A and B are shown apart, each in its own frame.
Chain A
Amino acid sequence: MTRLERSVDVLVVGGGPAGLGAAAELAASGAGHVEILEREQDAGGIPRHCLHGGFGVRGTGRFSGSGPRGGMSGPAFARACVAAAVGVGAVLRTGVSVTGWDGPRTVETTGPAGLERITARAVVLATGARERPRSARLVPGSRPPGIYTTGELQRAVHVHGQRIGTHAVVIGNEPVAHGAADTLRGAGLDIVAMVTDQPVSPLPALVRAWAGFPLLTGATVTRLTGRNRISGVELRHEDGRTTTLRCDTVVFTGDFVPEHELARRGGLVIDAGTRGPAYDTGFRTSRDGVFAVGNLLHAAEDAGVAAAEGRACAVPVLRGLAGHDRPAGPLVPLEVDPPLRWVAPNRIAPDAELHDGRFVLRTGRRLPRPHLVVSQDGRELHRQRLLLPVLPGHPFHLGAGWLERIDPHGSAVRITAL
């Protein structure tokens, strides 16, 4: 099989906000030939399908770089990300898929023009995240048409103009669930209910008043029914009651997982919590010259965070290109205790500093205003009270002022919620 052999300075895998942000900053900083490979026909990532506004507000402004600014729609934000990268000379190639590795910084690709083998001086993985489908959530029942994730729903409606149905149940209560609800209503569907297995919080009353559909809390989906089309969602409530919601459409939202296949196929160390590549505060993975950014690392933060992170990784990548990839000294893992689920970044290198001064975390269940305690070998490094409750699926943060107190030769640093 003939493959075209090519070399580039920086290869960015994934043309969403994170990858485009990285490419823009690197190309502008003189990193040489910076090439972005996007497997889909258009670059811009998930925001392309999110018609609601509010993009480009958060995550920007903390940087003086050339990133997009101001509130805009998802597609406008995606176009701005593309323009920012291409405008400074990054080479964007769409419809080209990375299909595997053939060396520490060499990948194999497939595109309509043929097969290639591309070797880079630095690789930036920005492959993003996806929502867990119904099967991976182990929801029993039948498998008829009419079952979506938000990602599939938004493409069906906004890209292909497909007819969806008339009555929808939305599973999940993360922000993305409300995005799905907006898409459904825009497509003319009635929303039967939004369902979450999380307990009642003050939020439902607000949502009910604002959204015009019921939010069922503490309810677990026990079965999907229907033969030629989904016909119902069976629920079990906290008090043991069971009910069936009649519908012809179900959308499973949130529950993001990193698109980590390429990282794992490359043998990169994977963090047990995030399921993305383990990485340090300089976006370095376990392999020299291979960096990672965006929601591959923490599924999922909003697009602005991903874009900002992409731009922030330019400094360590440039340092790596200059031959100063990794400082000598041990790497200390950062781990969380349940019910916390993960922390990112999750490795501490001797030169650690954080691009925006904080770690991002997730919890597995709601905690009312917890204390976050950072310790190492039984020694408390830091304690911080959060001012708001933390909820599953929602980010919360931990300051980084304690990094210098880490013993670089000690064991893992633990974060506990009390």
Chain B
Amino acid sequence: MTVTITRAGEPIGSGAADDDYDVTVVGAGVVGTAIARELARYRLRTALVEASHDIGNGTSKANTAILHTGFDADPDSLEARLVREGRHLLAAYAAESGIPVERVGALLIAWDEEQLALLPKLLAKAERNGYHAARMLGAGELAAREPHLGPGALGALEIPDESIICPWSTPLAYATQAVRAGVHLHLDCRVRHIADAGGSHLLTTSRGPLRTRYLVNAAGLHADEIDRHFGHDGFTVTPRRGQLIVFDKLARELVGHILLPVPTAAGKGVLVAPTVFGNVLLGPTSEEIDDKSATDSTADGIDFLREKGRRILPALLDEEITAVYAGLRAATGREDYRIQEYPALRYVAVGGIRSTGLTASMAIGAHVTGLLAGTGLELGAPRALPPVDLPNVGEAFPRPYRRADLIAEDPAYGTLVCHCEQVTLGEIRDALHSTIPPGSPDGLRRRTRAGSGRCQGFTCGAAVRALYEEARP
């Protein structure tokens, strides 16, 4: 199958009715790419359209990178079911496609008597969610497991299967596989208007018209705007900003597990977690804002996180900070996913996918595909997808710079460009010539880690940019 990725000109599929897409997925975040990948298993003409210049470039790129068990979800919610299914699907998929995952486990820590009293309730909730491996830890065992914890921790609920995952490899694997299987990916393609064209939808995009019989709205923060083109007023996305601080790799040995706060009415609170890149993450904040582009960090946010971090893991604050960033979660005012099919419109809206969306993504893909079938889309028999094997960017697995076999074959894997993250020329070259090449140096950073280390480009920034520019068509 030919690979079709367009970044300019009219999106393909805009000519005669025969050229209509069967399905168009709007939004190439982790949810949209997962849906496109699922659709790629069927003989359909599928398009994936994305407003920005890269996949996974919105909410998906700035989350807490946790593969949840769903132990604390509302047991009757759609979210609980899809997280439960999705985590097994994604864990298996990650293993076969090279997405780094580490099962570090989580500790839900009680810092006062009130929180301690809540732990048994959370344990019971985990059981109701079909998760049976959680157990209580006393203060002594907790201190032994996490010796750098701040004073005052009274106990914890251990959830051994909570894992950390690479948030960038996941949508990249989905999109790569979808595109290789024949899905057309149209980047820089913002949907401006949707009209009924008698049996198909006519999308007016920033790059021209596109016709499709079925439409899936996975536009994340902008899902409500897409939904309104159908005359709906079903939900409103209110961005909820989460600021996060990434600490230097030298802090990694301070923490063994994902350290979760006990959830309260005010939200899930601030966590400390290792990352698959060997850093330590502190965050997020939770701020209701109006602006869907306000991914700024703020002085108040940083101060708030540092104060929380000092309580949880005091020694963390002595380490250098590698990055501060903010992501926007697509909150809809209801604590569940909003996935709704409209058979008459040949349309499925996928809204309100919160931070658990990464975990649930594959299950959402299957669920939405089922809904499309229910609205009349003929899927036919599924076929196996060509496998993907992404280059490893995780610390728990052998990276190219440590692999004598790779270097012997190609010395570019022994030529380090980014020294903080040990990224080689070979990996950068591969990413620049991959199925879905990055649309910016930042996209290259997410694919390879080049420039994301402690020096933030002091040493390699100019060289990485030069490699990126050189490879641009």
| Chain A contacts to B: CB under 8 angstroms | 1-3, 39-40, 95, 97, 99, 110-115, 130-136, 138, 140-143, 145, 148-149, 151-152, 155-156, 159-160, 162, 222-223, 225, 227, 257, 261, 264-265
Question: When the two chains form their complex, are residues B404 and A130 in contact, meaning their CB atoms are under 8 A apart?
Answer: no
Residues in A whose Cβ lies below 8 Å from that of B402: 1, 99, 110, 115
Residue pair B455, A130 in contact (C-beta under 8 Å): yes
Partner of B457, one of A3, A152, A227: A152
- Known contacts A115-B407, A162-B465: does B321 contact A140 (CB below 8 Å)? no
CB distance from B270 to the nearest CB of A (A): 17
A95 close to B465 (CB less than 8 A): no
Q: Does B97 contact A (CB under 8 A)?
A: no
How many angstroms from the CA of A156 to the CA of B458 in the assembled complex?
Answer: 10
Inside 8 A of B322's CB, which chain A residues have their CB?
135-136
1/0 contact string of B381-417 vs chain A (CB within 8 Å): 0000000000000000010011111011001101110
Which residues of chain B are near A138, meaning CB under 8 Å?
Answer: 302, 321, 324
Bound-state CA distance A265–B414 (Å) is 21
Please name all residues of chain A whose beta carbon is closer than 8 Å to the beta carbon of B455 when the two chains form the complex. Answer: 130, 133, 149, 151
Contact B462 A113 (CB under 8 A): no
Inter-chain CA distance A176–B249, complex, in Å, is 27
Chain B residue with the shortest CB-CB distance to A108: B402
Contact A130 B458 (CB under 8 A): yes
Q: What 6 A-B pairs have minimum CB-CB distances, sorted nearest first?
A: A133-B456, A112-B411, A156-B462, A155-B462, A151-B458, A152-B461
Check if B465 sits within 8 Å of A156, measured CB to CB.
Answer: yes
Q: Which residue of B lies closest to A261 (CB)?
A: B250
Q: How long is the Cα–Cα vector from A112 to B226 in the complex, in angstroms?
A: 50
- B296 and A141 contact, CB distance less than 8 A: yes
Q: Does B308 contact A (CB under 8 A)?
A: no
Say yes or no: B401 contacts A222, CB within 8 Å: no
Residues on B with C-beta less than 8 A from A39 are: 416, 419
Q: Which residues of B contact A111 (CB under 8 A)?
A: 414-415
Could you tell me if B404 and A1 are in contact, using CB atoms closer than 8 angstroms? yes
Q: Which residue of A lies closest to B458 (CB)?
A: A151
Q: Are B321 and A135 neighbours in the complex by a CB distance under 8 Å?
A: yes
Cβ–Cβ < 8 Å partners of B407 in chain A:
110, 112-115
Task: Give B4 Cβ to nearest chain A Cβ, in Å.
Answer: 27
A192 → chain B closest CB, angstroms: 21
- A140–B462 touching, CB < 8 Å: no
Q: How far, in whole Å, are A249 and B278 apart by their CA atoms in the complex? A: 31
B77 at the interface (CB under 8 A from A): no
10 A-B pairs whose Cβ atoms sit less than 8 Å apart in the complex: A1-B403, A97-B419, A110-B401, A112-B414, A133-B457, A148-B461, A149-B455, A160-B462, A160-B463, A162-B466
Which B residues lie within 8 Å of A110 (CB)?
Answer: 401-402, 407, 414, 416, 422
* Chain A proximity of B414: nearest CB distance (Å): 4
Q: How far is the CB of A341 from chain B (nearest CB, A)?
A: 15
User: What's the minimum C-beta distance from B291 to chain A, rounded to whole angstroms?
Assistant: 11
Per-residue CB proximity of B285-302 to A under 8 Å, as 1/0? Answer: 000000001011111011
Contact of B404 among A114, A222, A225, A227 (CB under 8 A): A114
Q: Which residues of B contact A160 (CB under 8 A)?
A: 462-463, 465-466
* Residues of B close to A134: CB separation below 8 A: 456
Q: Please indicate the chain A residues that have their CB under 8 angstroms from the CB of B454 in the complex.
A: 136, 261
Q: How far is the CA of A222 from the CA of B298 in the complex (A)?
A: 9
Closest Cβ–Cβ distance, residue A415 to chain B (whole Å):
22
User: B113 → chain A, closest Cβ, in Å?
Assistant: 34
Q: Is the CB of B321 within 8 A of A99?
A: no
**Residue numbers in A under 8 Å from B246 (CB-CB):** 135
A114 close to B414 (CB less than 8 A): yes
B340 at the interface (CB under 8 A from A): no
User: Does residue B323 face the partner (Cβ distance < 8 Å to A)?
Assistant: yes
B295 near A142: Cβ-Cβ < 8 Å: yes
19 other contacts beyond A138-B321, A151-B458, with CB at 8 A cut-off?
A: A1-B402, A2-B404, A39-B416, A97-B416, A97-B419, A112-B412, A112-B414, A113-B411, A132-B320, A133-B456, A135-B322, A136-B321, A140-B296, A141-B296, A142-B295, A151-B459, A155-B461, A156-B462, A159-B463
Report the Cα distance A152→B453, complex, angstroms: 14
CB of B462 within 8 A of CB of A159, answer: yes
Taking Cβ atoms with an 8 Å cutoff, the residues of B that contact A are 246, 249-250, 293, 295-299, 301-302, 320-325, 398, 401-405, 407-408, 411-412, 414-416, 419, 422, 441, 454-459, 461-463, 465-466, 469
- Known A-B contacts A140-B301, A142-B296; A99 and B401 likewise in contact (beta carbons under 8 Å): yes
CA distance A249 to B462 in the complex (A): 14
B442 and chain A: residue at smallest CB distance: A145
A145 vs B461: C-alpha distance when bound (angstroms): 11
The answer to whether A140 and B456 touch across the interface, beta carbons within 8 angstroms, is no
Residues of chain A with a CB closer than 8 A to B401's CB: 97, 99, 110
Distance A414 CA – B465 CA, assembled complex (angstroms): 47
Smallest Cβ-Cβ distance to A40: which chain B residue: B459
Q: Which residues of B contact A40 (CB under 8 A)?
A: 459
- Closest chain B residue to A41 by CB distance? B415
Q: Which residue on chain B has the smallest CB distance to residue A134?
A: B456
B222 to chain A, nearest CB (A): 16
A269 to B461, CA, bound (A): 31
Are A162 and B462 in touch, CB under 8 angstroms? yes
Q: In the assembly, what is the distance between CA of A138 and CA of B402, in Å? A: 33
Instruction: Decide: B296 and A223 in contact? CB cutoff 8 A.
Output: yes
Contact A112 B415 (CB under 8 A): yes
Write out the residue numbers on chain B whose beta carbons fall within 8 Å of the beta carbon of A112.
Answer: 407, 411-412, 414-415
- Report chain A residues within 8 Å CB of B398: 1
Query: A136 contacts which chain B residues (CB < 8 A)?
Result: 320-322, 454, 456
B84 to chain A, nearest CB (A): 35
Q: Which single residue of chain A is at the shortest CB-CB distance from B246?
A: A135
Q: Is the pair A95, B415 in contact by a Cβ cutoff of 8 Å?
A: yes
Please name the residue on chain B nearest to A149 by beta carbon: B458
**Contacts known (A136-B322, A155-B463, A227-B293); A222 close to B299, Cβ less than 8 A:** yes
| Interchain CB contact (< 8 A) of B297 among A141, A148, A162, A257 | A141
Roughly how many angstroms separate A99 CA and B249 CA in the complex, as a whole number? Answer: 14
Q: State A138–B297 Cα separation when bound (angstroms).
A: 9
> A131–B458 contact, CB under 8 A?
yes
Interface centre among A39, A138, A222 (most CB of B within 10 A): A138
Cβ contacts under 8 Å, A162 to chain B: 462, 465-466, 469
Chain A residues with Cβ below 8 Å from B466 are 160, 162
CB distance from B469 to the nearest CB of A (A): 8
Across-interface contacts of A97 in B (CB, < 8 A)? 401, 416, 419, 422
Contacts of A132 in B (CB 8 A): 320
Nearest CB of chain B from residue A136's CB, rounded to whole Å: 5
- For the complex, give the distance between the alpha carbons of A204 and B302 in Å: 32
Inter-chain contacts of B249 with A (CB < 8 A): 261
A82 to chain B, nearest CB (A): 18
B299 and A114 form a contact (CB under 8 A): no
Provide the bound-state CA to CA distance between A39 and B412, in Å: 14
A140 and B457 contact, Cβ closer than 8 Å, known pairs A95-B415, A99-B402, A160-B462: no
Assembled-state Cα–Cα distance A152/B454 (Å):
13
Task: State the CA gap A145–B302 with chains docked (Å).
Answer: 21
Q: Which residue of A lies closest to B321 (CB)?
A: A136
CB distance from B284 to the nearest CB of A (A): 15
Identity of the chain B residue whose Cβ is nearest the Cβ of A98 in the assembled complex: B419
CA distance A113 to B14 in the complex (A): 52
Q: How far is the CB of A33 from chain B (nearest CB, A)?
A: 22
Measured between alpha carbons, how far is A159 from B465 in the docked complex, in Å? 12
Report the Cα distance A298→B407, complex, angstroms: 36
Interface centre among A114, A132, A152, A223 (most CB of B within 10 A): A152
Q: How far is the CB of B466 from chain A (nearest CB, A)?
A: 5
List, in ascending order, chain B residues with CB within 8 A of A225's CB. Answer: 296
Contact yes or no, A99 B422, CB < 8 A:
yes
